[in-house]
Structure 1
Amino acid sequence: MLERKQRKTRTEITFVLPADTPPGPVSVVGDFNGWDPYAHPLRARQDAMRAVTVTLPRKSSHSFRYLAAGDYWFNDESADGQDGPNSRVNT
Structure 2
Amino acid sequence: MAIKKQFLKSKPVCKVTFTVPAEEAKNVAVVGSFNEWDVEATPLKKLKNGSFKGTVDLETGNSYEFRYLIDGSYTNEVEADSLAWNDYAGAENSVLSL
Decide whether the 8 Å contact of 2:65 with 2:95 is kept in 1.
Answer: yes
Equivalent residue of 1:32, what SS? helix
Distance 2:58 2:79 in 1: 18
Gap runs ≥5 in structure 1 = none
Decide whether the 8 Å contact of 2:28 with 2:52 is kept in 1.
Answer: no
Q: TM-score, normalised by structure 2?
A: 0.83
Larger Rg: 2
Runs of 4+ in 1 over 6 A off after TM superposition: none
| Coordinate RMSD, CA, aligned | 1.4
- In the alignment, which of 80, 86, 90 is matched to residue 93 of structure 2? 86
Aligned to 2:88: none
- In the alignment, which of 18, 31, 34 is matched to residue 32 of structure 1? 34
Q: Deviations over 1:53-87 (max 9, x none)?
A: 11111121100001121x21100000000011100
Aligned to 1:3: 4
Distance 2:27 2:50 in 1: 15
Percent identity for Structure 1 against Structure 2? 33
Instruction: For residue 48 of structure 1, report the CA deviation from its aligned partner.
Output: 4.2
Q: How many residues align?
A: 89
Gap runs ≥5 in structure 2 = 86-91
Aligned to 2:73: 72
Aligned to 2:89: none
